Structure formats: C-alpha cells, structure tokens
C-alpha cells in the first residue's frame, strides 16, 4: 500500500465551516486508510503573506458587486459578533467545539520561519496533496498557498477533487493559473466545470473525482459520530447557508405536513438575519461530528449546502435540496450540487416548485451502486497518484 510514504496536505483547517472541516478530515482519513503517513502543512508559517495577498485582491474587487455580495454573510458574522451579545455567545460555543475537533483530529507539521523554510520542509514529503473544497477560487489563487507554488519542483504534487468554485476562471488570473497547474503532476477536480477550465488552460485531461467525504464509507462515518441522539423526537434538519426566504417558507410548510419540529444549524457560512425565528431548536455547541449526528437522526434534511447533500446521501436521508444562488449569479456555486445529484441520479430531489413536497423515499440501493463505483474510481486515482508519481 503506502509503504511508509509521507504525504503533505495543503487543506483548510482554520475556517469555522462544517463542510470545510469534514472534507479536510476526510482527506487525511482516506489517505491514511490507503496506508500513507500524513501531515498537514502548517499555513501559519506564511499566513501573514497569504492574508495580505487575499486582502489586496478583495480591495481590488470592491467595485465587483457580485463578488462582494458573496462575502456579505461572513462580513455580517464579524459585525454581529461585535454588536450582538446573543450571537456572540452562540458562535463562541461553536468556535470552542471546532477548536476541540482541530486539536483532537488534525495532525499538523511545524511552523516554519518563511516561504523558503516551508519550501525546504516540504522536501521531506514523497508527495504533497492540495485538497478539496474551493481552494482555487480567485482569492485563494491570489493567496498563492493552495497553488502549491512553494513546493519544490521535484516533489510529486497531486490535486485531489480541487474546485475553482466558479464555472469560469477570471481573465486576469488565467496566466497565473496556467503556470501553477502545469507544475502539478496529477490533476483532478470535483466538478466537470473544473476539468473544462484545466483543459482550456493546459490542454490536459483532469479526472473528475468524488469529494473526499464520499471516499469515507457510511460505516466509517458511523464509527466516528456520537451514538446518542443530540435532539430527541422527530425533526426536520434545516441547514440553509443562503438567505432565501422561500426556502425557509418551504421548510415551515413541510414541517407542518410531516408533523415535525424544525432543528436548525444556523449561520453556517455567515450570519443570516432572523434565522432563529423559523426554527424550533438551534443547538449551539455543535462540532463537525455532532453536525453529522443531527443529519443521521433527522426525519429528513432540507439544505442548500453541498456537504449537507453529501452527508444526507451518506446517511440515506430523505432529502430536499435548494439552489443557493440564482443561475445568473456570477459567483454561483450551484454546479457542485447539481453535478452531484445528476451523478447519483437524484435530480428529482432538487426543489424547483415550492408548492410541491416530494415525500417519496429514495432508492438508496441504486444510489449506493452508483456511489460505490464513483468511490472506487476516485480512490484508485488517488492511490495511483501517490504510489506512482510519474505515471
């Protein structure tokens, strides 16, 4: 298997977001399960430079309304933590839960003294993997960490299920992206749109693979999730990271139809004003594995989140999926959700008529076969990329 090879991981472990933490954990877990030793490359070595570059990028985008709008939830959270004592207390409990998870489950390398020191440290690795999630969004390309430009030329570099976040790359970043992509020996994406971008920029065929959370089996996730139910009684879990009122109205009406209470995981990707009012319960001290407990024990799940969909499918829940963005939105990330549903033949779970409720059960035996095939293919790609660097 891995024959004691050491793998460096460039993954996100500093954003308080359930999907981000769980896909980072899954990347580490899946690679270790293949028999490799892993270590997370410590971004704190260069975080000052990365933050400065990202801030410069944001300042240049202040007149780009579509991009600014996509960060309003995060900006709202920062403001609310300062002016809203109730939210500050709620969010502090979540931050503590994430801090405990970070300390217990992530294995970090040391903090180096510079980009040069970090680059030298990477020579100890047989391969460096840039993980999944939207690590090639414009701001992250500007930050120049998840591009792996700091990793020495001779070290094998692997992109596993990495996403550009958008369906097209910015014109002013095309030459930068072409250069860093050409340095990465093994390229794979989470979405077809990413493979298309790579083909356009490098004329290389990138493999479309499953999100790392799908590399981990249901049995393995079950072994990690707290066994006791966090919420008693029947409930619908609402995990809505967007702010569309019609999605919340749909959940309310569905709850009445099913005679269930609504449990919310609120402010998942930024503050949404008034969300406390449409749910019956919203537990605060919820870490990543507690989040999975809420999904696993729900009667059904309503979500506009990619990872909300993923884990609902893993735990075989009745699923109601919303588009978080309008199709015309330049910053839309809808494609990652619609691609997943299409791949697993679950298109009918996308809610497009808010007056109709799909209460039919899902044929998870059929979904399981499609998922097993996708998982096997993706695992094989990852194993080959790490075992045969020059293949």
- Mean pLDDT over 32-44 rounds to 97
Mean pLDDT of the chain: 92
| pLDDT tens figures, 199-214 | 999 999 999 999 999 9
Residue 325's pLDDT is what?
72
pLDDT at 4: 80
Q: How confident is the model at residue 69 (pLDDT cuts 50, 70, 90)?
A: low
Confidence of residue 294 (pLDDT cuts 50, 70, 90): very high
Residues 6+ apart with CB under 8 A from 164: 134, 136, 137, 189, 191, 193, 194, 197
When mean pLDDT is compared across 139-143, 254-258, 321-325, the lowest value belongs to 321-325
pLDDT at 114 over 70: yes
Distance of alpha carbon 22 from alpha carbon 224, whole angstroms: 11
pLDDT in the model for residue 133:
84
Q: Please tell me the predicted confidence (pLDDT) of residue 50.
A: 96
Start-to-end CA span in the chain (Å): 16
Secondary structure letter of residue 352 according to DSSP: -
Could you tell me the pTM of the whole model?
0.94
Which domains does the chain show, CATH number per domain?
6-215+373-387 (3.40.50), 218-368 (3.40.50.720)
| pLDDT category of residue 388 using cuts at 50, 70 and 90 | confident
**Mean pLDDT within 19-44:** 97
């Amino acid at each position: 298997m891995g024959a004691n090879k050491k793998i460096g991981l460039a993954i996100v472990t500093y954003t308080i977001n359930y999907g981000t933490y769980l896909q980072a954990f899954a990347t580490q877990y899946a690679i270790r399960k293949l028999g490799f030793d892993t270590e997370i490359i410590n971004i704190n070595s260069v975080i000052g430079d990365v933050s400065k570059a990202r801030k410069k990028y944001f300042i240049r985008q202040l007149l780009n309304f579509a991009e600014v709008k996509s960060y309003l939830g995060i900006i709202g959270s920062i403001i609310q933590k300062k002016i809203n004592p109730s939210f500050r207390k709620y969010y502090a409990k979540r931050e503590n839960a994430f801090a405990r998870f970070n300390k217990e489950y992530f294995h970090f390398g040391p903090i180096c003294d510079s980009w040069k020191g970090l680059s030298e440290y990477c020579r100890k690795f047989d391969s460096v993997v840039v993980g999944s999630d939207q690590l090639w969004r414009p701001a992250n390309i500007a930050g120049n960490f998840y591009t792996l430009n700091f990793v020495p030329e001779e070290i094998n570099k692997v992109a596993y299920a990495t996403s550009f976040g958008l369906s097209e790359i910015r014109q002013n970043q095309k030459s930068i992206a072409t250069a860093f992509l050409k340095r990465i020996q093994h390229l794979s994406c989470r979405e077809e749109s990413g493979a298309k971008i790579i083909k356009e920029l490098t004329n290389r065929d990138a493999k479309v693979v499953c999100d790392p959370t799908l590399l981990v089996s249901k049995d393995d996730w079950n072994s990690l999730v707290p066994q006791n139910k966090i919420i008693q009684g029947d409930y619908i879990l609402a995990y809505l990271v967007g702010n569309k009122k019609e999605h919340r109205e749909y959940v309310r009406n569905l709850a009445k139809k099913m005679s269930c209470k609504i449990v919310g995981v609120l402010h998942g990707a930024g503050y949404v004003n008034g969300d406390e009012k449409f749910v019956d319960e919203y537990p605060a001290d919820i870490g990543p594995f507690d989040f999975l407990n809420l999904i696993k024990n729900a009667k059904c799940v309503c979500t506009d989140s990619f990872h909300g969909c993923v884990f609902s499918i893993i735990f075989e829940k009745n699923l109601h999926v919303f588009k978080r963005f309008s199709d015309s939105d330049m910053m839309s990330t809808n494609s990652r959700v619609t691609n997943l549903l299409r791949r697993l033949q679950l298109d009918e779970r996308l809610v497009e008529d808010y007056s109709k409720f799909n209460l039919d059960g899902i044929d998870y035996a059929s979904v399981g076969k499609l998922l097993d095939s996708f998982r096997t293919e993706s695992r094989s790609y990852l194993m080959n990329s790490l075992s045969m660097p020059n293949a």
